[in-house]
Amino acid sequence: MMICIRKIWVCVLLLTCGVLSSIQAEDVEVPVPYGDMEQWVVRKIKESAIIGGNVKTLYELAPWDTVFGDIAYENQGGSPWATSNVMAKVAGIVKTNTSVYPERRGDGWCVRMETHLERVKVLGIIDIEVVAAGSVFLGCIHEPIRGVSNPQSMLLSGVPFTKRPKAIKFDYKVKVMPEMERTKSTGFGRKSKVPGQDSVAVVLLLQKRWEDKDGNVYSKRVGTMVQRYSKSQVEWVNGATYPIMYGDIRKRPEYRDYMRIQVEERYTTNSKGESVPIKEVGWAAPDDIPTHMVLQFVSSHGGAYIGSLGNTFWVDNVKFVY
C-alpha cells in the first residue's frame, strides 16, 4: 500500500512539474498603451491666409478629444506615441502636414501612414513641395516646428524602458510602389530622384543610454529588430511576430546592413532640456538591461524628404511578447 501511495505521489509531482513547466513556457503578450489604435485626438488648425487659410485636420494617438486652434501638441492621456502629423510656425506663418490617419477596421480602428507630396502655394503664386512620409513612433515632437533644417532634432525619439521582451507582434498590410527610384523634395530647388526602391519599415531598438557632464547623450545597442517590406501585402497579416535579437548581432544570419550601429541620427532631450543627438557607440552585452526603447513604424525608409509617393502602411494591435 505504501509503495502504491508513493507511486501516486511521484506521478502527481511529475504531472504538476510538467504543468508548471508548460505554464512558464507559454508566451505572455502585453499590449503597448494605445497600440490598439482605437483612440485619437482630432486637431482642427486654420493655416495662415497667405497660404490659403484652409482648416486642416491632424490626428494623434491619445484619448478621444477634439482640439481647435494652432495649439502646440503635447502627448495626452499617458500616450507614449507621436506621429508625423505636425504644425509649423515659420516667420508667423502657420502650416500643417497630415500623413497619418485613423482608418476603420471592422468595428474598430487601425492607423494608416502614407508617403505623399505636401504642397503649399504662397499668395497663390509660389509653389513649395515637400516629400512627407507617414510615421508613428514612441516619443514626442517639439511643436511648433520652426524650420525644415535638421528635422530629426525636432523629435524626442524613444521612451524609458527597462524590460527585455522576446518579440514584437502586430497586424499589418502594406502598399509599396515598385519603382526602383524615390523622390526627393525638400522645398528648396527642384525635385530629384534617389536610386533604389522604397520600403516601409518597422524599427525597434533597445538602448542603454547615459549622459556625460556636458549634456551629451550616448547609447549602446541592447536589442534590435528592424523589418522592411518591399512588396505589397494587400490582405491583413494578423499577429505577425518578429523576434528581438540581443547583443552584437553582426554574425547572425538575420543581420542586415540597415541594422548597423548609428544607421541614422536620432535625438532626445538631455537633463538640461536641450535637444541633442543620441550617439550610438556600440553593442551592449547580450544580457544587459536597456534604459530606453525606440519604436517606429514608417511608410518610407530613406529619411526626411525622400520616399516613393503612394507608399502606404497600415498597422494595428501592437504588443510585446515575453
pLDDT of residue 110 exceeding 70: yes
**Averaged confidence pLDDT in the chain:** 90
pLDDT for 191 equals 86
pLDDT for 90 equals 85
d(CA 230, CA 4): 64
Question: Using 50, 70 and 90 to split pLDDT, how confident is the model at 149?
Answer: confident
- Range in 62-71, 141-150, 214-223 the model is least confident about: 141-150
pLDDT of residue 2 exceeding 60: no
Q: When comparing pLDDT for 232 and 15, which is higher?
A: 232
Question: Using 50, 70 and 90 to split pLDDT, how confident is the model at 150?
Answer: confident
pLDDT of residue 8 exceeding 50: no
Long-range contact set of residues 246-252: C-beta below 8 Å, sequence gap at least 24:
246/164, 246/206, 246/222, 246/286, 246/287, 247/222, 247/283, 247/284, 247/285, 247/286, 247/287, 247/288, 248/283, 248/286, 249/224, 249/283, 250/283
Q: What is the CATH number of the domain that holds 181?
A: 2.60.120
Whether residue 19 is contained in a domain is answered as no
Decide if 223 contacts 164 (C-beta within 8 A). Answer: yes
Q: What is the pLDDT of residues 261-317, one digit of tens each?
A: 999 899 999 999 999 999 999 999 999 999 999 999 999 998 889 999 999 999 999
The whole-number average pLDDT for the span 20-30 is: 67
Question: Using 50, 70 and 90 to split pLDDT, how confident is the model at 148?
Answer: low
122 is written with which cell numbers?
Answer: 504662397
pLDDT for 124 equals 63
pLDDT of residue 41 exceeding 60: yes
For residue 199, which amino acid is it?
A: S
Residue 284 DSSP code: P
pLDDT of residue 113 exceeding 60: yes
Whether residue 6 is contained in a domain is answered as no
pLDDT for 123 equals 67
pLDDT of residue 198 exceeding 50: yes
Question: Using 50, 70 and 90 to split pLDDT, how confident is the model at 230?
Answer: very high
pLDDT for 22 equals 40
Decide if 62 contacts 73 (C-beta within 8 A). Answer: no
Domain coverage including residue 107: 36-321
Whether residue 2 is contained in a domain is answered as no
Whether residue 31 is contained in a domain is answered as no
Question: Using 50, 70 and 90 to split pLDDT, how confident is the model at 187?
Answer: confident
3-state secondary structure of 148: coil
The whole-number average pLDDT for the span 225-252 is: 98
Residue 257 DSSP code: G
Whether residue 5 is contained in a domain is answered as no
The whole-number average pLDDT for the span 229-240 is: 97
Question: Using 50, 70 and 90 to split pLDDT, how confident is the model at 154?
Answer: confident
pLDDT of residue 57 exceeding 50: yes
Question: Using 50, 70 and 90 to split pLDDT, how confident is the model at 141?
Answer: very high
Domains held by the chain: number: 1
CA atoms within 13 A on the CB side of 75: 18
Whether residue 20 is contained in a domain is answered as no
76 is written with which cell numbers?
Answer: 495626452
**Closest by CA position to 204, among listed 146, 258, 152:** 258
Whether residue 13 is contained in a domain is answered as no
pLDDT of residue 53 exceeding 70: yes
List CB contacts of 241: < 8 A, sequence separation 6 or more. 167, 168, 169, 321
Whether residue 17 is contained in a domain is answered as no
d(CA 177, CA 142): 31
The whole-number average pLDDT for the span 204-221 is: 98
**Closest by CA position to 198, among listed 214, 219, 176, 220:** 176
